[in-house]
Amino acid sequence: MRNALKAAGAIVAVIALCAPLMFLPAEDTQPTTIGYATVTVTVPDTVVVATTIPGLETTTTTTEPPVTTPPVTTPPPSTTTTTSPVDITIAAVGGLYTTPEILSTVRDAETGSYDFGAVFAPVARYLSKPDYTVAALEPRLGGPVVGYDSETVPNAPRELAFAMKQVGIDMVGTANPHSLDLGWDGVVGTLDRLDAAGLAHVGTYRTSEERNTPTIVDVDGVKVAFLDYTAAVGASLPVSEQKPFAVNLLDLATVTQDANTARAWGADIVLALVDYGAEYQRRPTADQTGLANDILGHGVDVILGTRAGVVQTIGTYFPFSRTVNCYTAYSLGDFLAGPRAAASEDAAPQAGIAVYLRFQKRGLRTYLMGIDYLPLYVQVAYASGAEAAGKPVGFRVLPVLPGVEPDTDIPLTADDKARMSTIWNYVREQLYRPDEDITPLLLGQLGL
């Protein structure tokens, strides 16, 4: 009996001591752990890991059925999400210059219209395959009222713009010594006709707002900024004084500001077309190389030279302030031009190149992985017969690839083949540097 009383007393004592804990409201007990049987931790952008914290299960006395937490599936470690690299190819060709001789071969005498289709047909697939293609437009598109017969003030019909768009050119640079040849009307008329053909443009402008807005193109998720400058302009100089935004004049401070603005607007890459240097010379001048290095040291990734009319070397530059390599193609040569005599003994063969800039964007950085080049040759067909002998009757832009017959409707002469061989050897001598990832174009790279 005594033992039973002792046991009952012990039970009463335990109940008295534990009663405060038994009747506390649920939200007062360990509020930081109750209800958190499973926790999902998210690593920003890439990794999501599900984790179960043991020992946090609770038991609740209730007349309702217990609530079951759905199981959390933990992904295996190998499923970590990463951003895939983005690869793009930007192609560029040099000066597109139309002369009265060229225009006479593409004009329909009956309708007065112009058809450039056959001129560009042999090289069209090499321009349309890259993700984006840019060219340097030398003549103005001032309209028929100005006329197309001048040798010194080049003016081309609007059909040229439509032809460029049709063969795969997406943008043209319009800053060169002929930018102001037709005055303010020539500036505006050219840009209006390019807009009508669906061609983007950079280098000349109708308003200061247009000039100060960076030209940035989203190419498959890579934002590419295009700049364009000329070292000099010819006629109608008062236009540049009254409307300083009309044409971009080459100046290091201006280029630096434009490159920084493009970066601020989100550009991953900054490409600059630059019309500068000495014409028809195999090598860039000392001033040309010095200015190029200054430009690359102030925010530009690649310079594409458009002045010399012949192919010059591609230089590599490693700015201390950045971790990406920069390049200068000192001259892309002529894309289309009439026949000319050599300017000096040092003059290079009449030729041009298309360059293919292979970029890869990885995360927040974009790298130039390599440069491929395709030599180009302007084939000229001449009339026969006593009266018209020596008169050009057809022009074709041909790709130059050893062992590959160009698709041209004008038969190749022995002279054509010899010139193409000379061009191939000359361009190889100037550009071939596989250790710097500068190599000839392989057709498989473009899916051809």
pLDDT band at residue 151 under the 50/70/90 scheme = confident
pTM of the model: 0.81
57-61, 355-359, 415-419: least confidently modelled range:
57-61
Task: With a cut of 70, say whether residue 74 has pLDDT above it.
Answer: no
Contacts of 72 (CB under 8 A, 6+ apart): 38, 40, 50, 52
Q: Residue 175 — left, alpha, or beta (φ > 0 → left; ψ -120 to 50 → alpha)? A: beta
Q: For 155-192, how does the pLDDT look when each residue is reduced to its tens digit (9 = 90+)?
A: 999 999 999 999 999 999 999 999 999 999 999 999 99
Tell me the longest C-alpha to C-alpha distance in the chain.
Answer: 147
What does the mean pLDDT of the chain come to? 83
Task: With a cut of 50, say whether residue 30 has pLDDT above it.
Answer: no
Give the residue, 348 or 254, on which the prediction is more confident. 254
Task: With a cut of 50, say whether residue 266 has pLDDT above it.
Answer: yes
Burial tier of 388 (Cβ tally within 10 Å: 0-12, 13-18, 19+): exposed
R_g over Cα of the chain: 34
Give the model's pLDDT for residue 27: 40
Give the residue, 349 or 263, on which the prediction is more confident. 263
Q: Which two tokens stand for residue 331?
A: 């001259």
Phi, psi of 116 (to 5 degrees): -95, 5
Q: Which two tokens stand for residue 341?
A: 């005599």
Asked whether 102 and 394 are in contact (CB, 8 A), the reply is no
Decide: helix, strand or coil at residue 211: helix
pLDDT, mean of residues 406-434? 95
pLDDT, mean of residues 95-123? 96
Give the model's pLDDT for residue 239: 73
Q: Are strands 86-96 and 334-336 parallel, antiparallel or unpaired?
A: parallel
β-pair partners for 50: 40
Place of tokens 């004049």: 249
Asked whether 442 and 434 are in contact (CB, 8 A), the reply is no
Which H helix or E strand runs over 14? helix 2-22
Q: What percent of the chain has pLDDT over 70?
A: 77
pLDDT, mean of residues 122-137? 97
Q: For 227-241, how does the pLDDT look when each residue is reduced to its tens digit (9 = 90+)?
A: 999 999 886 566 767
β-pair partners for 134: 92, 171
Task: With a cut of 60, say whether residue 5 has pLDDT above it.
Answer: no
Q: Which two tokens stand for residue 48?
A: 């999501």
Give the model's pLDDT for residue 62: 43
CA distance 367 to 157: 39
Asked whether 424 and 400 are in contact (CB, 8 A), the reply is yes
Burial tier of 375 (Cβ tally within 10 Å: 0-12, 13-18, 19+): buried
pLDDT band at residue 53 under the 50/70/90 scheme = very low
Tell me the residue type at 41. V
Q: Are strands 222-230 and 269-275 parallel, antiparallel or unpaired?
A: parallel
Quick one: three-class SS letters along 126-165?
Answer: HHHCCCEEEEEECCECCCCCCCCCCCCCCECCCHHHHHHH
Nearest partner of 87 among 370, 316, 434, judged by Cα: 370
pLDDT, mean of residues 58-84? 52
Give the model's pLDDT for residue 444: 86
